[in-house]
């Protein structure tokens, strides 16, 4: 299907909200990143499609998904170029940003989407598994933004969109590395939104939802056919396109999500209850008052009970 926004002869069917903007989308050869790149191109942006074509673990392959997405955008009348550098390498990240400037004259939009997974429980995770995931997600997001932000500041305009995850916002079993990276990305989003706003740059994040290589094995054609419509990864892209536009200049430092056919917004972590005593607390006082004053607000995470005592008994 030809991307919406272009006619079969390659001419614009309408003026997109990103006309004449230039975007870099990391990890955009497949899955969510591909949908982001296509959506930005439909809205008129020239796109640098960055993807190494690696496996989910980050191992090398002979695949060229970035080239395929570029061809798809160009066939629809858009402008795109591939970049085959690693976001985890600081200098290589600079070359990705430089590709946008060299090929299209500027960089207005950065979508930090690249990622890998190496899921293990804490006691089974190896150091290299932790470092690899942190290096791609967290450091990769820093690397690209560190190179792009000065250019955006000089231009007085920019839109930075970070991809986080519920694994970092709420936790997910077996994802110490991934959850840590995604929580860190949320933290950087808050900091950068404060630092860059005065230069006309907004920084927001999205915790997307959808079936991709990272969430399921789609090698089975039946599994693809049976995928609920609400898990289509393309459903995340319209919000990314909006946040990348001038119309979203009032949106900064926010964390968004997607559930079914809805977009959601996460409230920044905030204090929700107070446990106060004039002059401060001692240990016996905390032991006596904690459950009454703060315990009722605990999030529903697994409880660790004393030996021989069940959770039901503890509640009683």
Residue 64, SS3? coil
The angle that helices 90-104 and 140-155 make with each other, rounded to 10 degrees, is 40
Q: CA 119 to CA 133: how far, in whole Å? A: 9
148 within 8 A of 107, measured Cβ to Cβ: yes
From 84, 157, 178, 263, active-site residue: 178
To the query of whether residue 157 is one of the catalytic residues in this protein, the response is: no
Q: Whole-angstrom distance between the N-terminal and C-terminal Cα of the chain?
A: 60
Q: Residue 251 CA to chain centroid, in angstroms?
A: 16
Picking from 271, 268, 310, the residue whose alpha carbon sits closest to that of residue 294 is: 271
Q: CA 241 to CA 249: how far, in whole Å? A: 13
* Cα angle 117, 87, 25; round to 5: 90
Q: Which positions are annotated as active-site residues?
A: 178
């Amino acid at each position: 299907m030809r991307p919406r926004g272009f006619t079969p002869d390659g001419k614009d069917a309408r003026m997109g909200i990103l006309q004449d903007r230039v975007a870099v989308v990391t990890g955009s050869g497949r899955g969510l990143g591909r949908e982001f790149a296509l959506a930005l191109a439909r809205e008129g942006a020239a796109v640098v499609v960055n993807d190494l074509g690696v496996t989910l673990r980050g191992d090398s392959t002979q695949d060229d998904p970035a080239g395929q997405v570029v061809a798809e955008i160009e066939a629809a009348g858009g402008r795109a170029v591939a970049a085959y550098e690693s976001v985890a390498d600081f200098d290589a990240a600079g070359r990705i940003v430089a590709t946008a400037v060299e090929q299209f004259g500027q960089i207005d939009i950065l979508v930090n989407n690249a990622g890998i997974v190496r899921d293990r429980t804490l006691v089974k995770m190896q150091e290299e598994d932790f470092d690899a995931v942190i290096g791609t997600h967290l450091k990769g997001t820093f690397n690209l933004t560190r190179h792009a932000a000065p250019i955006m500041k000089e231009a007085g305009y920019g839109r930075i969109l970070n991809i986080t995850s519920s694994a970092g916002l709420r936790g997910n079993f077996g994802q110490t590395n991934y959850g840590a990276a995604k929580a860190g990305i949320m933290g950087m989003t808050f900091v950068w939104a404060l630092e860059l706003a005065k230069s006309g740059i907004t920084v927001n994040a999205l915790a997307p939802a959808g079936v991709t290589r990272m969430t399921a094995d789609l090698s089975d054609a039946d599994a693809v056919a049976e995928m609920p419509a609400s898990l289509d990864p393309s459903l995340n892209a319209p919000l990314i396109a909006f946040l990348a536009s001038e119309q979203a200049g009032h949106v900064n430092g926010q964390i968004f999500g997607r559930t079914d056919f809805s977009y959601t917004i996460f409230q920044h972590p905030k204090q929700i209850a107070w446990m106060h005593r004039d002059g401060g607390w001692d240990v016996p006082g905390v032991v006596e008052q904690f459950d009454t004053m703060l315990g009722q607000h605990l999030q529903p995470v697994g409880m660790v009970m004393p030996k021989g005592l069940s959770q039901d008994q503890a509640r009683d």
